[in-house]
Structures are given as structure tokens and as C-alpha cells.
Amino acid sequence: MDGIIASASSEVEGSSHPPRRAPSCVFVIFGGGGDLTKRLLVPAIYNLACAGLLDDDFSIIAVDWADLSDDVLRAQFNEALQEFVARRGTAATALREDMWTWLSQRITYLRGSFEEASTYATLAERIGSGNAVFYLAVAARFFGSISDRLGESGLVTEANSTFRRVIVEKPFGHDLASAKELNRRLLGVLRERQIYRIDHYLGKETVQNILALRFSNGFFEPLWNRQNIDHVQITAAETVGVERRGRFYESTGALRDMVPNHLMQLLAMTAMEAPVSFDADAVRDEKSKVLKAAHCVGSDDVVRGQYVAGLLHGEDVPAYRDEPDVARDSQTETYVAMKLAVDNWRWAGVPFYLRTGKRLAERRTEIAIHFRHAPYALFRDTPVERLTPNIMTMHIQPTEGVTLQFGAKVPGPTVRLGGVRMKFDYSEWFSDGPSTGYETLIYDCLIGDATLFQRADNIEAGWQVVQPALDWSARPGADPLCAYAAGSSGPVEADALLARDGRHWLALGA
């Protein structure tokens, strides 16, 4: 996190040193003709170019099967970029022709199979002896074989102080055993410091801000423990369904798709101890430790749901089982809620409730820290249990910021208490241009900072937490999926999960 995050200077006052330009590098994208490359990677690289963070010797080689030429690929990228700036930009961030010319001259296409040695031989010729990053923007089944081929062809051998790095997309494994196996295979060819396992949640400013908030301010951390916190709610609610990804989603489901990676990152950032420094290994050591302490106590603490047809924002939406490429009797969950315990000195007895799902009432990702009530009913007309709960919410998306909810005196001659909110909104304080969330991740990889990437043990620790839930759901006689209507807040069984502890979820779509 030496990179962009450190330069996101406080506009009030604070430390800031300008980010340095990344070293020269050939950026090879396997899956260079694919959706991820067009929608996110190229716009992110374009933004880095605009910010002056790329070296003049930066170039991109897009590798894919399709029959494309350099010019056709560049035209496709240009179209995607125009869309990107039109969708997210403002007049001031319209596509910069000078930047596009600079970038497009540095993009070439290589048609080839990911499995054949000839593709790698051509790559070796084109890359020469300089620095290179290999981005695996491909289906997960290719991760192992591409890395094997990179190893055999000598492309990841580092010499004369040049670097060779590999960025691996998700899903990283299908369960704990397959994640371990993939780590074993990658580590047979690469050193750990050459592997950058991506979780795009870590590219989100607001996720990075969790650490900034906790560890650069004096007043949160003393309260951040079991003495003061009653429970934590982590929500990643989506309104989208499975879109065109039915085939992928059928064999994945909400639990695998979101929990071991994104939700575990949010949990780890919220619950980890302060690292001794922001050095990549110091941060990742703390994340691993807290994830190793997290676990789901019993099968009653997991609720799996699937959406049936419903009304979302006034429109009829079909049931999951009626989506394209989904089995009519599918048993894949599109929603999961879990209660986790984190067994360490800081968190013993503080439940962490997690929920994520598709086709919910609202798109909202947030972490809500529910503090304990004030201990004593000083205000005679407002009993302790009716005081406004003190909640600190870290909003990840779509709004980005932090709110504090607390009680205040309602103006008037009698003492009456009412709930109020104090809000910090990112967009009001900082005026950054449109971003994809991949800028920081790509830049950090180029400068060799792995803080925002997952180490092998972090990935395995995330899977370790969800593996019992995967096992419980696969055993004969497992609890059936709970139905919820598209556009609702999820299954009632998820409400019951909290109600039995005398708690309730923050409302969705309210």
C-alpha cells in the first residue's frame, strides 16, 4: 500500500508524498480479448497513464484465441473506454485523445492457445529481457496450466534485477482442498513474492479506508473490542441476478462466490490487530491470524437461500431457476447468511453476522459496528433498551463513506432523546475522477507492493472458514434452501438467525 493509497492525502491536513512512476514493464494479459480486460483492466491502465504513473516503456500484449488484429483490438478497447468515461466520467474526464494515442501505440495482440508452447515462445521473443507482469484474466481452469507453461518457457525466471510477476484472478479454488492444490502448483513454478492473487474488493477505496480509519485515528481503536462492541453486521447485497453467468454460478453459488474472498477480506480488515507496519507481510500476517480465529459454530448458524420470482424496483424479475443456463431444479444458493465467532481476546463473545445475496431489495455493501448500549437509564423517559443504538457504518458501495448513529436531545422544553446520524461522504471530500478499483491493484503490482493481494495462507484461511458450511450443505439430509422473493431482504430464516440472539439486521431497501 505504498502506492496510490499513501498519496490519497487528507484534504484537511496530512502526510502526502507523490506516487512514483512505476518501472518499465510489458503487461501481458491472458484473456486479453475478454470482458474483464475491456471493462476494467484497460480503463484502469488508461487512468494510470492519465495520472502519469506509467513508464514510457510500458506496453501491453493481449493474448487470446480469437482471430483479431492489433487494430481491431485497439478499436474494441477504444469503444470500451469511451463507454467507461461516458458512464462514469464528467466533462472533465472525457476520453483524452493524447492519452489514448500514447496508450494505443503500446498495445499489441498475440493470437495463441494458452496451452501451446509456441504461444510462450513468441511471448518470450516479444518481451525480451525486461520486466513483465502476466495477468491471468482467464477461466480458473487455466490458472495452473498457464503458470506451468510460463515456468517451462523460462518466462518467469527473474534475472539481472528484472521482475516477473503473475496476477491471478478469482475464483481461487473451489474449496479448501482445491485452493491448497492450486497454491501448491503455482508455488512449484513461482516464488510467493511473484504471485499476486487478486481480490477486487481490496482495490476499493472504501475497503482500504477501513485500515486508515482504524489505525490512523486515535478514537476508534480504544473502543474496538468486546467490551464496547455488541456485534458486527457485514452485508454485500446485490440487486443483479446471475446475468449471463448462469453456467459459472450454478457450480459456484453465493457462498463460494462471495464469502471466502470478499466477505472474509471485509471481516479481516475490520477485526485484525494493528500490523507492526504497512509492509505487505506484516499486514497479511495479521489478516491470517484473525481469519484463523474465525469460525462458524454449527450448521444452524448458516442460512442458504435461493430467489423465486418477485418484484424489484417495480419490475417483474424471474426466479433463479428460470434464468438462462440454470437447472430447473437447481440447488445452488443465491443468498447466504452466517454467524461467525472470532475466538481471540479482542472478539470473544462478539458475533459477526454476514449476509450476501443476489436480487435483493437494494445494492448495498457495508460493515456496521453495533456498539453496546449505554449502561444506565439516566434519562427516565427513555429506557436503556430504547436508546438509539450506536452504530458506526462503513459504507463500501454504492455510497462511499462512514456514518455514526447516536442519540441526541430533541429540541424542546422536555428532555426527549432522538436518533441522529453524522455522515462522512467520500464524494463530498475528495474529487477523484472515475476509477475501476483496479488502478491501485495494477499499480501496486507494478511497483512490487503485495499488501493488497492475498498470500497463499490468507486464501486458505478464508476457505477454512467456509469449508464446514460447504460440507454441511453437501451432506445427505442437509437443510433445504430457503426461498426468498426477488426484491426482498432475503429469507425469513436469515432474520430468525439474528432474532434468536435478540438482534435484527439493518433494513435493506428501506
504 is in an annotated binding site: no
What is the contact mask toward ligand BG6 in residues 213 to 232, using x (rule: CB under 6 A)?
--------------------
* Binding footprint of ligand BG6, residue count (CB under 6 A): 4
Q: How far is the CB of 206 from ligand BG6 (least distance, A)?
A: 11
CA atoms within 13 A on the CB side of 81: 24
* Catalytic residue (choose from 231, 262, 370, 395): 262
Q: Is 400 in the site for ligand BG6 (CB under 6 A)?
A: no
C-alpha cell at 247: 453456467
Given the C-alpha cell 433445504, which residue does it identify?
Answer: 480
Residues 34, 114 contacting (CB under 8 angstroms): no
Q: How far is the CB of 284 from ligand BG6 (least distance, A)?
A: 20
Q: Which of 365, 440, 451, 489 forms a contact with ligand BG6 (CB under 6 A)?
A: 365
Q: How far is the CB of 257 from ligand BG6 (least distance, A)?
A: 5
Q: Which of 257, 333, 444, 449 forms a contact with ligand BG6 (CB under 6 A)?
A: 257
Nearer to ligand BG6, 306 or 365 (CB): 365
358 is in an annotated binding site: yes
Nearer to ligand BG6, 32 or 241 (CB): 241
C-alpha cell at 132: 513483465
Q: Which of 238, 286, 366, 457 forms a contact with ligand BG6 (CB under 6 A)?
A: 238
Residues 331, 341 contacting (CB under 8 angstroms): no
What is the rounded distance in angstroms from the CA atom of residue 212 to the CA atom of residue 443?
19
Identify residues 153-172 at the interface with ligand BG6 (CB under 6 A): 170
Q: What is the 3-state secondary structure (H, E, C) of 224-283?
A: CCCCCEEEEEEEEECCCCCCCCHHHHHCCHHHHHHHHHHHHHHHHHHHCCCCCCCCHHHH
Give the residue from 297, 291, 231 showing the smallest Cα distance to 263.
Answer: 291
257 is in an annotated binding site: yes
State yes or no: is 373 an active-site residue: no
Q: How far is the CB of 424 from ligand BG6 (least distance, A)?
A: 21
Nearer to ligand BG6, 87 or 475 (CB): 87
Nearer to ligand BG6, 230 or 366 (CB): 366
What is the rounded distance in angstroms from the CA atom of residue 304 to the CA atom of residue 259?
12
Residues 63, 32 contacting (CB under 8 angstroms): yes
Q: Distances from the Cα of 90 to the Cαs of 64, 102, 151, 199, 206, in angstroms? A: 33, 22, 44, 28, 21
Burial string for 105-118 (b: 16+ CB within 10 Å, else e) reads: ebbbbbbbebeeee
Identify residues 81-100 at the interface with ligand BG6 (CB under 6 A): none
Helix (H) / strand (E) containing 195: strand 195-197
Identify residues 433-492 at the interface with ligand BG6 (CB under 6 A): none
Identify residues 265-284 at the interface with ligand BG6 (CB under 6 A): none
Nearer to ligand BG6, 261 or 451 (CB): 261
Give the catalytic positions in this structure.
262
- Binding residues, by number, are 170, 200, 204, 238, 257, 358
Where do contacts with ligand BG6 occur on this chain (CB under 6 A)?
A: 170, 238, 257, 365
- Binding residues for NADP(+), by number, are 170
